């Protein structure tokens, strides 16, 4: 890693001002993510913000360029099993194609996993393609089950 890279990249929660820092275009590197207006962004941001620690979106900002280069989210599910246990679900992890190879993905997954642990989850889970299995194994994950899906709308099922 180049010198200063640690301080250049700031890992933090999503803020409403991140609309101007390329959050949506970053997500579009992961899956279908058409542009949305600032009002749409703010409205969805407020819905998620209202859930507090139960739904957190992590971003990595390149402070030299003032734009986002990685993100991932987690929400906390409350169960009855395991003595009213909680599970953290990680979703939508992506690193900008120009910022790969600097372990930013691992920092995002670490931030989210630490959050899950801090709020008392007994496990954290996620779904990934076979191509990304090695990355998550390096983050400490092991394969457990199969993900199954049904799509309701006519968009192609790329995510």
Catalog residues that contact its own copies under the rule CB under 8 A. 23-24, 27-28, 30-34, 36, 40-41, 43-44, 47-48, 55, 73, 75, 77-84, 87, 89, 91-92, 113, 116-117, 121-130, 133, 136-137, 139-153, 155, 157, 159
Nearer to its own copies, 8 or 49 (CB): 49
Q: Find the shortest distance in angstroms from Cβ 152 to its own copies.
A: 5
Give the CA distances from residue 129 to residues 16, 43, 102, in Å, rounded to whole numbers and listed in that order: 30, 30, 21
Question: Phi/psi class of residue 92: alpha, beta or left (left: φ > 0; alpha: ψ in -120 to 50)?
Answer: left
Degrees, nearest 5: CA angle 156-88-23: 50
Nearer to its own copies, 9 or 45 (CB): 45
Q: Find the shortest distance in angstroms from Cβ 148 to its own copies.
A: 4
> Residue 24: helix, strand or coil by DSSP?
helix
């Amino acid at each position: 890693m180049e010198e200063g890279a640690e301080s250049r990249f700031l890992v933090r929660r999503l803020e409403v001002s991140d609309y101007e820092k390329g959050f949506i275009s970053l997500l579009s590197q992961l899956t279908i993510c058409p542009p949305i207006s600032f009002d749409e962004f703010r409205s969805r941001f407020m819905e998620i913000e209202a859930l507090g620690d139960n739904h957190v979106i992590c971003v990595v900002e390149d402070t030299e360029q003032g734009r986002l280069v990685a993100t991932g989210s987690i929400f906390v599910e409350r169960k009855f099993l395991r003595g009213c246990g909680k599970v953290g679900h990680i979703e939508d992890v992506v690193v900008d194609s120009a910022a790969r190879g600097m372990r930013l993905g691992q920092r995002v997954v670490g931030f989210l996993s630490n959050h899950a642990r801090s709020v008392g989850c007994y496990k954290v889970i996620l779904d990934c393609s076979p191509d990304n299995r090695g990355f998550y194994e390096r983050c400490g994950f092991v394969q457990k089950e199969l993900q199954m899906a049904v799509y309701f709308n006519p968009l192609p099922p790329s995510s």
